Structure 1
Amino acid sequence: MFSGGTVSMLVQGQHITVRLPRDVPDALRGLPPVSAVFTGRERELADVAALLAPFVPGGKGGGYAVSVVAGMAGVGKSALVLRVAHDLVAAGWFTGGAMFLGLRGYDRRDRLDPDSVAVEILGILGVPGEIVPAGAQARLAVVRTVLAGLADAGHRVLIVLDDASSSDQILPVLPGAGIHPVLVTSRHTLIGLDAPTIELRVLPDRAAFDLLATALQAKHPRDTRLRRNARAARALVGMCAGLPLALRIVAGRLATSPHLAPAALAADLADGARRLDGLDDGERAVRAALDLSYAHLLAADANAASVFRLAAESPGVTFTVDAAAALSGLDRVTAMRALAELERAHLVEPAGTGQRRMHDLVRLHAHSIPDPDRERAVPRLIAYYCTRVGEVGVAAGDSPALGTPEAAKASAARQWFIAERDGLQASLEHAANRSDHDTVITLAFGLDPYLDHIRDFAPNLRDLQLALQAAEALGRPHDAARALTLRGFALREVRRFEEAITALERARDLFAATDDLTGQARAWNGLGLALREVRRFEEAITAHEHARDFYEATDNPNGQAHGWNSLGATLREVRRFEEAITAHEHARHLHEATDNRNGQAAAWNSLGLVLGEVCRFKDAIIAHERARDLFEATDDLTGQAAAWNGLGLALWEVRRFEEAITAHEHARDLHETTDNPNGQARAWNGLGLALREVRRFQEAITALERARDLFEATDDPTGQAATWNSLGIALGDVCRFEEAITACERARDLFAATDNRNGQAGAWTNLGIALGEVRRFEEAITACERARDLYQATDDPHGRLVVERLLRSIREQVEAIEAMRDHATGKTAPPSDPSASGFSGSLTLFFPKREQPPPSG
């Protein structure tokens, strides 16, 4: 209770006496009612309460004089602060009650200025109108005096000022720090206030559905339409895009039309051109709320209003400053300032590095506002993209040495693509839908280096197919050949090898028809890479030789180097190791002559793999380390991963197993970073082999199972075969022989399906060992004989020698067992070695395990 009394003051030369009320004025106990339907804002309620906590009894003090809840029109700011005010007053936080005053900041005809706000507050505080002085300053002084009296009496008041449009509406009426907290709502971020701001966002789908359903059931508790029509309900939630005002309007329309099916309402709202008209229940309308925001914007900043209208035409969901400048026809600096104003007004929102987006309903509203320049907006944007993508496209795919101007250029190009990718992709599809073939070709070819660099092949394949169709429609065989070449490379990356071969053969023929030697060289080289993947090695060798010769004819040393490196990798597959070494050394020298460090790295890595095949393991280690360092210098994560994996295999050969484990873990992590599941599989496989050698058998099995699953997921039968073979060996290590037999049989069949006779030989060998372990000796001998014949057919004397020793060992075991049996039946004397009662071998790795080199060309 107040003690009552009077307060005298001198205001602008006038003596004013104000009699304080004896009790808290009734108006401070009468907040507007809070909506019974309120969901999905638990965190925000807690955040606002935390800002007000220092003002409550027992609080620590030092709270903010004013706090702001900001957000777009219709997002639920008023509902939130009203719920907070009701809850905190009911909890006894504010014994003086709370006042709620709507400032109508976005209604130009009815907006309250500070003088009017002071009059309203004095009325709420119970100050008689006849003693209210004239003039804003005098009235504001009286407001502060009365509020100070309430504070002196121990009654803090929560002051809620709703719908402020600027700091100017708030600053003059603040009661003073530490007296009473002020809670403000605004559609703007009020940068003129030194106040913490809670940005209120739209509701996520689950909370949006809860609000829609709760609002409908608040009017009709037995209404089950939304529950019975879940798909339509989800569609309605999507069309409201999480905006509480829109969700409440939809609930209102359903409530007033009990026979309206949610699916019918969803169909009515599906048309974007009519959606805002449908989001109107007679009392509330999304369009009306957004009209106020736009009118305020137009009066404050004509450039921002122009950007608002025309940025809505962006084909993509997001847009950048440069895209907004192109759409609006403004210069970049002006567009940047306009976007800052739109962001402050919550008419656009951040959407990633350098990107903005509009809420779906805001975008529809902006699109509905007439603008004489609208038809020119998208053509300006596409012209900008077509010019810029040609300047930065190639650079985005480069891997130049760090610290050079080329590195900075490549980094800048990639950052540009990251920001503009959504707009570029949407613009390409927009052009395709309108048969703008030139734009489709330009954007698809410009996007390819970047998408290839980040290994995002699915959209690249779609883009290049559209480019191919556009080139064919225009009758441009050269562009068609280029699209086919790029598409063939991408198809190979996603392991669609037969399609890749078809595309590259078509490209090769089209380039030949247009007498383009460089194009033919690239197509031949890509064709060789694809042929190698399906083990058509002789054809692949021929293709790479053609590529090399065409590159030589065009005096393209880097191209020649790629051709030599690809040729070497294929020669390695047919065990022509010395020729392969020569080819990789040619490639390396050519790349050194042109200072192509990334090319040098690829050649060193390929060379390391072949050196391992001829047991020059120390040289292989040096080669892989050199490759790794060069790939690191060129910021090529995929190359680094391949080099680490090759290094791990070479380290395994010289029994440096702990270092091999570390190398394969590096490879695995890098492949995960670049989202390369096939590369991850190879790294897991190498890791499993190394873990086995240090007797970490269960970890080895886990790693190999992970490799097997990844090879299956990437449809790589060769990788699956090798991993099944490795897994069979590891399972034998822990005496799980029946599972080992199954694994080796699976490996054998997969190697046979891919016509890999050397792999089959290794699988048959390991199968023979596993069969011997379970005393199925006749089958073991048959398996080893099959392995011996395959090693002979593949001209692998080492493999043949090993398996012949194994055969001899098995036969000796059989003879020993038979001798023991004969002795037991009294037929013969005891054997010279009575302990020889069974097979005593252990599973040993025989299958080819070398890493494939990174793609060239």
Structure 2
Amino acid sequence: MGGIGKTALAVEAAHRARAEGWFPGGTLFVDLRGYDDDPVTADQAVLALLDALGVRDRDLPPTTERQYDAYRALLAERQDRMLLILDNASDPSQYVPLLPGTDHHRVLITSRDRPDALPVRLIDLETLASDDSVALVARALHDTDERDERPGCEPDALHELADLCGHLPLALQIAVGMLRRRRHRGIDSLVADIRDAGDPTAVLDHGSPGTDLYGRSLVIRPVLETSYRRLPPEQARLLRLLCLAPVAETGTEAIAALADVETEAVLLLLEDLAAAHIVTPVRPSDGTAPDMRWRLHDLVRVFGAGVVAGDARLREEGEAARERVLEFYVRWAAAADRRLRWLPGMAEPERFMDRAQALAWLDRERAGLVAAAGWAQEERFADAGVRLAECLGMYLYWRRYFDDWTAATEAARDATHRAGDLLGEAIAWGNIGLALRGAGRTREAIDAHTRARNLYQAAGDRHLEAGAWNNLGNALRQVGRTEEAIDAHTRARDLHQAAGDRHLEAGAWNNLGNALRQVGRTEEAIDAHTRARNLHQAAGDRHREGRVWNNLGNTLRQMGRTEEAIKAYGKSRDILREFENWYDEGRTLENLAHVHNAAHRPAEARSAYLQAAEAFTRANAPDRAVQARTRAAELPA
């Protein structure tokens, strides 16, 4: 893409190659100005090349055809190999006529466009890695003034500056120039300016220090504008809309919904944009994902969003596109959620044949789904954003993405509150409570569940109120308020029984058993867990049955019934593994290790701890994995 550093890399490569003696015949350089309003033609460039080769004035052939003949003849006669750099080409017609008629010499071409029709070797340049971006800025400042200690004193600000520049060499070069100018101010001052502006190009272009070593203006926006203006209308429209997608990397299906274009047609357009280095195709690391993904550079996204914001017609086009992609996400997130919650006897969800397919799709689309749920803050997208947030709860809990869950549900809470939707706001508060408890913020979770309960009571929904009591009881138990937890779970159980909801009644029995065990009422706890297990079995809910077996094992272990506890944990482990519930499997294996350790079986305990560590790693719980490995290492050999 523009500003990636193509010319700088080509020139540096040429200098190093000359130093190594690769091109004793020298180097020829022509700037074709391919993206200017008046690009250099091949006919103009050949005159410059002939001049560099010593052919000028009276020696210059009178016709263009003879000029090309003379140029090729000179190169063919040269015994010493030469390097020809044809820089900044926008079309093959600018450089194809300039290629030598011999393979003795070498040619290096830079362009923003991929010449896929030509048999040339292609070298794609990406933005710099984060550490390389930081090193570039630090070294440039040090080379100017070795007393400049800002990079070493402000490492966090330096990394943020590199991020804000999108790791684009042109933007980094401009930032370095601005920091040189404001040498008595910290790096954080420039970071603050860019962050406050919300558009890095506005700050960097305004403070640009002038021109680079090649006499080119150090500005970003005109580089992006020239690439955009060259696009055919359909590609330009797709780029504008893609800049409005929830995140920088999006799948083909979602882009097709955004643009209201068939998938095959949008794929062709995306490939054209990729050939112009405006979007970057992202291939899955394992090669198994069925939906190709596409990434936009952050500065391109800001530029495209600015183009849309400046035109009323384009703004309405953009809002309609955002509605389409949000509905796309809602449809398939709802289908995936139904698959995760599916029990025998329920209708089969569309698209996703099993849990693995649903989870794989949600994993790929997570960033976009969460960001799109945040659109609930905008009135036009509030209803769909709230629905999307509700669809993501089970998945985000399952994968333990509690920060994402909190962000999505807070947007839903605010939207439902503005609309005066008591039930919707109560649901959002309940989900916030679950996310907060998962993140270890239990006291805040208690407040959230209390708010949810009160809103359900105000709305007169006793069924949903029961769920709030159950969630509140779990949070209360976690902070040691066990008697209150027992009361909350009992209320939940009674309300579910009154409603005839055996499935949710089972959950209340299970949680009640945990609270009873915590206060030493183990016989009652066993009865509660047994009731929960039987109800889940009757409903065909093997996943929740697996979790009950773990809790039953805990109670049996507390009573000293070791062998029965081991069997219970084994049943729990097998079921949770079947459902790929790695976190709960890790907890069960940890409990199994505890009981083996108490029974003086160090080998079995060590094995269980190590299996728990592996499960926690897969569950995105690295702290628990480290803890399990540490306990395994502490056991006697």
TM-score by length of 2: 0.81
Q: Report the equivalent of 1:358.
A: 296
Check whether the contact 2:251–2:294 (CA below 8 A) recurs between aligned residues: yes
Q: Would you say 1:286 and 2:189 are equivalent positions? A: no
Q: Report the equivalent of 2:288.
A: none
Give deviations 1:642-675, integer Å, cap 9, x for gaps: 2212222333344432122111111123223323
**Within-5 A mapping of 1:582-731:** 582-676=527-621, 679-680=624-625, 683=628, 687=632, 691-692=634-635, 694=636, 696=637
Check whether the contact 2:24–2:81 (CA below 8 A) recurs between aligned residues: yes
Change (3 A) 1:494 1:365: closer
Q: Report the equivalent of 1:90.
A: 19
Q: Would you say 1:551 and 2:482 are equivalent positions? A: no
Percent identity of equivalent pairs: 32
Change (3 A) 1:655 1:255: closer
Out of 64, 71, 76, the residue aligned to residue 148 of structure 1 is 76
Q: Would you say 1:519 and 2:441 are equivalent positions? A: no
Counterpart of 1:291 in structure 2: which amino acid? E
Out of 471, 478, 484, the residue aligned to residue 429 of structure 2 is 484
Q: Report the equivalent of 2:413.
A: 468
Check whether the contact 2:134–2:159 (CA below 8 A) recurs between aligned residues: no
Change (3 A) 1:338 1:208: farther
Instruction: Quote the Cα distance in structure 1 between the aligned partners of 2:157 and 2:606.
Output: 54
Q: Report the equivalent of 1:201.
A: 127
Instruction: Quote the Cα distance in structure 1 between the aligned partners of 2:441 and 2:178.
Output: 52
Q: Report the equivalent of 2:214.
A: none
Change (3 A) 1:559 1:176: farther
How far residue 149 of structure 1 moved from its aligned partner, in angstroms, is: 2.8
Check whether the contact 1:342–1:348 (CA below 8 A) recurs between aligned residues: yes
Counterpart of 1:84 in structure 2: which amino acid? A
Instruction: Quote the Cα distance in structure 1 between the aligned partners of 2:422 and 2:551.
Output: 35
How far residue 175 of structure 1 moved from its aligned partner, in angstroms, is: 3.5
Instruction: Quote the Cα distance in structure 2 between the aligned partners of 1:665 and 1:222.
Output: 51
Q: Report the equivalent of 2:315.
A: 374
Change (3 A) 1:281 1:603: closer
Instruction: Quote the Cα distance in structure 1 between the aligned partners of 2:282 and 2:588.
Output: 37
Out of 334, 340, 344, the residue aligned to residue 398 of structure 1 is 340
**Within-5 A mapping of 1:49-64:** none
Instruction: Quote the Cα distance in structure 1 between the aligned partners of 2:563 and 2:157.
Output: 67
How far residue 430 of structure 1 moved from its aligned partner, in angstroms, is: 4.7
3-state secondary structure, aligned to 2:603:
helix
Give deviations 1:451-498, integer Å, cap 9, x for gaps: 212212234234433433333332222112212222222232233334
How far residue 144 of structure 1 moved from its aligned partner, in angstroms, is: 4.6
Instruction: Quote the Cα distance in structure 2 between the aligned partners of 1:456 and 1:259.
Output: 42
Out of 71, 84, 101, the residue aligned to residue 159 of structure 1 is 84
Out of 377, 387, 391, the residue aligned to residue 442 of structure 1 is 387
Instruction: Quote the Cα distance in structure 2 between the aligned partners of 1:553 and 1:631.
Output: 30
Instruction: Quote the Cα distance in structure 2 between the aligned partners of 1:78 and 1:350.
Output: 23
Instruction: Quote the Cα distance in structure 2 between the aligned partners of 1:266 and 1:652.
Output: 54
Instruction: Quote the Cα distance in structure 2 between the aligned partners of 1:488 and 1:368.
Output: 37
Instruction: Quote the Cα distance in structure 2 between the aligned partners of 1:246 and 1:212.
Output: 13
Change (3 A) 1:227 1:623: closer
Check whether the contact 1:326–1:381 (CA below 8 A) recurs between aligned residues: no
3-state secondary structure, aligned to 2:514:
helix
**Within-5 A mapping of 1:212-223:** 213=141, 217=144
Q: Would you say 1:79 and 2:11 are equivalent positions? A: no
Check whether the contact 2:134–2:162 (CA below 8 A) recurs between aligned residues: no
Instruction: Quote the Cα distance in structure 2 between the aligned partners of 1:655 and 1:416.
Output: 45
Counterpart of 1:376 in structure 2: which amino acid? E
Instruction: Quote the Cα distance in structure 1 between the aligned partners of 2:357 and 2:125.
Output: 32
Give deviations 1:198-236, integer Å, cap 9, x for gaps: 415247442342466378x4xxx7997988997998887
Instruction: Quote the Cα distance in structure 1 between the aligned partners of 2:502 and 2:442.
Output: 28
Check whether the contact 1:211–1:244 (CA below 8 A) recurs between aligned residues: no
3-state secondary structure, aligned to 2:453:
helix
Q: Would you say 1:312 and 2:207 are equivalent positions? A: no
3-state secondary structure, aligned to 1:521:
helix
Q: Report the equivalent of 2:105.
A: 180
Instruction: Quote the Cα distance in structure 1 between the aligned partners of 2:520 and 2:185.
Output: 75
Instruction: Quote the Cα distance in structure 1 between the aligned partners of 2:439 and 2:172.
Output: 43
Instruction: Quote the Cα distance in structure 1 between the aligned partners of 2:323 and 2:283.
Output: 22
How far residue 263 of structure 1 moved from its aligned partner, in angstroms, is: 9.0
Which structure has the bigger radius of gyration? 1
Q: Report the equivalent of 2:521.
A: 576
Instruction: Quote the Cα distance in structure 2 between the aligned partners of 1:255 and 1:526.
Output: 56
TM-score by length of 1: 0.62
How far residue 135 of structure 1 moved from its aligned partner, in angstroms, is: 6.8
Give deviations 1:309-365, integer Å, cap 9, x for gaps: 233334544444345445444444333333322233222335786554433443343
How far residue 590 of structure 1 moved from its aligned partner, in angstroms, is: 2.3
Q: Please identify, of 316-325 and 85-94, the stretch whose mean Cα deviation from structure 2 is larger.
A: 316-325
Check whether the contact 1:664–1:686 (CA below 8 A) recurs between aligned residues: yes
Instruction: Quote the Cα distance in structure 2 between the aligned partners of 1:631 and 1:132.
Output: 82
Change (3 A) 1:312 1:491: closer
Out of 330, 334, 337, the residue aligned to residue 268 of structure 2 is 337
Change (3 A) 1:82 1:277: closer
How far residue 286 of structure 1 moved from its aligned partner, in angstroms, is: 2.8
Check whether the contact 1:106–1:292 (CA below 8 A) recurs between aligned residues: yes
Counterpart of 1:381 in structure 2: which amino acid? R
Out of 447, 468, 475, the residue aligned to residue 530 of structure 1 is 475
Check whether the contact 1:252–1:281 (CA below 8 A) recurs between aligned residues: yes
How far residue 579 of structure 1 moved from its aligned partner, in angstroms, is: 3.1
Q: Specify every segment of 5 or more residues in structure 2 that has no aligned partner in the other structure, as ranges.
A: 212-216, 285-291
Give deviations 1:812-854, integer Å, cap 9, x for gaps: xxxxxxxxxxxxxxxxxxxxxxxxxxxxxxxxxxxxxxxxxxx
Change (3 A) 1:123 1:411: farther
Instruction: Quote the Cα distance in structure 1 between the aligned partners of 2:583 and 2:441.
Output: 20
Give deviations 1:510-559, integer Å, cap 9, x for gaps: 32443434312312221222232233334333332332333333343322
Instruction: Quote the Cα distance in structure 2 between the aligned partners of 1:468 and 1:631.
Output: 32
How far residue 195 of structure 1 moved from its aligned partner, in angstroms, is: 0.7
How far residue 431 of structure 1 moved from its aligned partner, in angstroms, is: 4.1
Instruction: Quote the Cα distance in structure 2 between the aligned partners of 1:647 and 1:236.
Output: 49
Check whether the contact 2:398–2:581 (CA below 8 A) recurs between aligned residues: no
Instruction: Quote the Cα distance in structure 2 between the aligned partners of 1:434 and 1:73.
Output: 37
3-state secondary structure, aligned to 2:88:
strand
Change (3 A) 1:468 1:262: closer
Instruction: Quote the Cα distance in structure 2 between the aligned partners of 1:191 and 1:391.
Output: 36
Tell me the number of residue pairs that the alignment of Structure 1 and Structure 2 aligns: 607
Instruction: Quote the Cα distance in structure 1 between the aligned partners of 2:184 and 2:601.
Output: 77
Instruction: Quote the Cα distance in structure 1 between the aligned partners of 2:605 and 2:294.
Output: 46
How far residue 163 of structure 1 moved from its aligned partner, in angstroms, is: 1.5
